[in-house]
Amino acid sequence: MGVQLNLPGSPPARWPKFSSPLRSTALTARLGRILGICMGICFATGLLSHYQYQPWSWLPEPASPVWGYRLTQGLHVTTGIATIPLLLVKLWSVFPKLFQWPPAKSLLHGLERLSIALLVSSALVELVTGLFNVLNWYPWPWDFVPVHRFLAYVLIGSILLHIAVKLPDIKYGLGTKVAQGDVLTEIPWEQNPHAYSNSNDTHQPPPVTEGLSRRGLLVATGAGVGLVVATTVGQTVTPLSPIGLLAPRQYKKGLQRVPVNRTADQARVTELLDAVRAGNWQLSVKGAKPYTVSLDEILAMAPHEAHFPISCVEGWSVGVQWRGVRLLDIVRRAGGTEDSRVKVTSLEPRGSYNYSFVDGPQVSHALLATHINGDPLKDDHGYPLRLIAPDRAGVLNTKWLSMVEVL
Ligand SMILES: Nc1nc2c(c(=O)[nH]1)N[C@H]1C(S)=C(S)[C@@H](COP(=O)(O)O)O[C@H]1N2
Ligand SMILES: [Mo]
């Protein structure tokens, strides 16, 4: 197979030796299987989530089920979080391979090892940036979304390549009982020239050892993953919020029982909202028949209620009872229909999320809300008027509206 690299026959003198008989193909294959399932769900829901964040103009977002985005994003963040401990244990289980000797047996083998370097580094960067995103912390100068999305393709590609290359090992590993099967790297290389090699390992039976068993390791890993999931999922599965020790955003801690993303202060609209309170606000509606409407007029219109969740890309979500006027009623009065494409714009002077588009079925279902959970919107939730639509990324539910354009 390809070019034989000319490397010394034995590794450097201070090369590490590994002695845990827990490491085995059977164990790694099982860890890899759960990891693969988690990462697969995380990738698929990530793609869906990205589409809902930036819907294609030829395929408008659906409006039902109302909890669609909540489920997608909850799964994306939860499987992503579960992946972190799983990946660490999986890496531990194959860690000695990093020190295999010779580093590459052939050009092809060298390329395969490089692809693993790409796999591991993209997975680590992806998970760390994702976790920081959940914490609403962006300590880097670049845009999170394109980088996270690009790395997802790199990662999924290198995973598929890795699975294809390792198929013989995976088959062997899954076909062996976890307590039996080879020890991945325990045999000192001097005694076993195949000990650090890949697919053509001579599979040796494990020695009898005391202490943690491989099954015990799998159970401990499962328990650890379960604990991490149980203590974070309360940010979206609200009945579990009391044990959400690792869930920073919980509805009970939020203003009006809803967490706030970007306060009025952060969006620099506080002074503008004081002017709104002083009576200097009108919603300006553009279209074939443009008009303006005051807050009093909006409050005098027939109120509509809806129970839509607000689901943030950062992983928290909560069901909310909204009251307001129907976007469609506002749109019709300007000469539009349920097939119109609508742009809503915020008072917020700067920021990437100070406007959004509504089209397709969402036009008929969206509300321009004045009330949240029975009370008038507080400033941080978008006073005097905000958009809320079903099955929609939180970030697209624009707060502090000033204008509606029927396009
Ligand atoms: N004008 C404006 N609207 C906005 C945002 C913003 O930054 N500016 N943030 C969005 C995000 S990311 C979310 S998750 C929701 C949160 O709404 P809430 O703070 O009322 O819970 O508002 C959305 N609306
Ligand atoms: Mo958000």
Distance 334 CA to ligand 1 centre (A): 26
Over residues 289-309, the mean pLDDT reads: 97
pLDDT for 117: 94
Name the band, by pLDDT with cuts 50, 70 and 90, for residue 188: very low
What burial letters (b/e) apply to 19-57, b meaning 16+ CB within 10 Å?
ebbbbbbbbbbbbbebbbebbebbbebbebbbebbebee
In the predicted structure, residue 144 carries a pLDDT above the cut 80: yes
Name the band, by pLDDT with cuts 50, 70 and 90, for residue 191: very low
Distance 299 CA to ligand 1 centre (A): 22
Nearest to 360 by CA among 57, 77, 128: 57
In this structure, of 7-11, 14-18, 85-89, 309-313, the range with the lowest mean pLDDT score is 7-11
In the predicted structure, residue 170 carries a pLDDT above the cut 90: yes
DSSP state of 286: E
Report whether residue 342 contacts ligand 1, using a CB cutoff of 6 Å: no
Q: Whose CA is nearest to atom 11 of ligand 1?
A: 395
pLDDT for 197: 42
Q: Kind and range of the H or E element at 50?
A: helix 25-53
SS3 (DSSP) at 214: helix
Q: Is 367:304 a contact under the CB 8 Å cutoff?
A: yes
pLDDT for 195: 40
**Average per-residue pLDDT in the chain?**
90
Distance 394 CA to ligand 1 centre (A): 6
In the predicted structure, residue 194 carries a pLDDT above the cut 50: no
Distance 370 CA to ligand 1 centre (A): 15
99 vs 86 pLDDT, higher one: 86
Q: What angle do CA 229, 232, 236 make, to 5 degrees?
A: 110
Over residues 379-404, the mean pLDDT reads: 98
Question: Could you give the CA distance from residue 404 to residue 407 in angstroms, rounded to a whole number?
Answer: 9
Q: What ligand is nearest to the CA atom of residue 49?
A: 2
Q: What angle do CA 168, 207, 18 make, to 5 degrees?
A: 75
In the predicted structure, residue 116 carries a pLDDT above the cut 50: yes
Q: What ligand is nearest to the CA atom of residue 356?
A: 1
Nearest to 397 by CA among 149, 52, 142, 71: 52
pLDDT for 185: 52
In ligand 1, the atom with minimum distance to the C-alpha of 266 is 7
Structure tokens given for 327: 């976007």
Name the band, by pLDDT with cuts 50, 70 and 90, for residue 207: low
Question: Could you give the CA distance from residue 321 to residue 311 in angstroms, rounded to a whole number?
Answer: 14
SS3 (DSSP) at 222: helix
Structure tokens given for 84: 């972190």
Q: Please name each of the domains of the chain with its CATH number.
A: 25-243 (no CATH), 264-406 (3.90.420.10)
**Residue 269 burial (C-beta neighbours within 10 Å; 0-12, 13-18, 19+):** buried
pTM (two decimals): 0.89
Greatest mean pLDDT range, 102-111, 122-131, 172-181, 194-203 = 122-131
How far from 19 is each of 65, 71, 188, 189, 214, CA to CA, in Å? Answer: 53, 43, 8, 11, 14
pLDDT for 101: 78
In ligand 1, the atom with minimum distance to the C-alpha of 314 is 14
DSSP result, 342-363: EEEEES-SSSTTSEEEE-TTHH
Distance 380 CA to ligand 1 centre (A): 9
Provide the residues around ligand 2 (an ion) whose CB is within 5 A: 261, 312, 394-395
Name the band, by pLDDT with cuts 50, 70 and 90, for residue 8: low
In the predicted structure, residue 139 carries a pLDDT above the cut 60: yes
DSSP result, 124-139: HHHHHHHHHHHTT---
